[in-house]
Structure 1
């Protein structure tokens, strides 16, 4: 029975797992979940598909699993995956784990909160965010990105490594997200800019495939900004 993958490509971790499944050549049945329509909020969804009512998640036969990092680690154990994605060497694997644990309250936490306040909630509610609060949130994003570049990209082309790993995919997907809110994370960060392009190159055509909707919204945001000038 083929693995079923439930996802919405508007979600950063969903994009990361999607790209990994593709580049690792793991067969799967794509099962899209339209978060914008609230498909994940029904009681039927909770009872039959995922008790947490979140994406991404997988059904591998009778086994069900949520959380992108847990899914990734499971896949590397159950499927023939190239060593660079999650090295068997203990110290190299620990470097990948270091970022996977770090990112929740740092890159993911700050980029997601800014995106939600600046773009997602105004889009849903029609209410504009508090400028003072938004300035604080943007400052948190700036600080998180600067530290990411300093801590993880100082001496190596990928996250504390010479080769691309799942940590790079996950980080890149998170860092792409604020672009939809008009914030460009690459500006003033040459190492981060070069790193994102390396990750994209290593993972294409699937990186671009997973980001099609995001790219369109980023372009729309740029056009709207130019029209206001």
Structure 2
């Protein structure tokens, strides 16, 4: 088997797949694609992924985009173990229930807050409009509140029930993203805080490895923050 993962650790779903493949001891070839250097727009990469995004896998010549599609495919191929992506129909449906929800339910709002507050100012050199930023923060907090209360507040330790799954890893990588914009969800949402600890513990040391760039950015921002 030959499996290549095209990824950038600044990308939430890229981090999830990178951490997952490391965790399950999959013999894969990591192929970094530097988004900051616009390598995803190169002619060479566009031949691999016409959508010019990461992550992408190449499995024995079969090229596939979109993180959720990749997770489902790797499960069907027997690469992801049942312990993280159940084969049982009902248990798998619980995992996929979250995978379907998270695109617009969680990812959109966390990613847009990060983009408006942290990324756009770097690209444009302009400070975001406070009222506009407040709107994005409000929508993100509504999403985090839903995740905290309705997904994690049902007396179960993980997103899909009693056992950790790929849904937890994908969600954790999304919740981490706003930290680069100075917002840490664990400070406000107790269910998220406890759950994040369980997810990190399960996937470490690879969880920290996948977040090494993000954590470095967070530390640097902390050092630059004015002392009160």
Q: Give the alignment's TM-score, normalised by structure 1.
A: 0.96
Aligned with 2:172: secondary structure? Answer: helix
Task: Say whether residues 1:6 and 2:26 are aligned partners.
Answer: no
What is the match of residue 201 of structure 1? Answer: 201
Distance 1:208 1:182 in 2: 19
Gaps of 5+ in 2: none
For the residues of structure 2 that align with 1:130 and 1:33, how far apart are their CA atoms?
A: 31
* Alignment correspondent of 1:112: 111
Match of 1:6, SS?
strand
Matches within 5 A, 1:20-169: 20-47=20-47, 49-154=48-153, 155-169=155-169
Report runs of 4+ in structure 1 exceeding 3 Å deviation: none
Distance 2:7 2:193 in 1: 27
- Counterpart contact for 1:15–1:210, Cα < 8 Å: yes
> Number of matched residues?
227
CA contact (8 A) 2:149 2:191 kept: no
Structure 1 residues not aligned, in runs of 5+:
none
RMSD over aligned Cα, in angstroms?
1.2
For normalisation by structure 2, the TM-score amounts to 0.96
Identify the range of structure 1 (137-146 vs 119-128) with the bigger mean alpha-carbon deviation: 119-128
Q: Given that residues 26 and 79 in structure 1 are in contact (C-alpha distance below 8 angstroms), is that contact kept between their aligned partners in structure 2? A: no
What is the deviation of 1:30? Answer: 0.6
CA distance in 2, matches of 1:41, 1:80: 30
Question: Which string of whole-angstrom CA distances, capped at 9 and with x for unpartnered residues, describes residues 61-86 of structure 1?
Answer: 22000011111111111134321211
CA offset digits 1:74-111 (Å, max 9, x no partner): 11111343212111121111111111000111210000
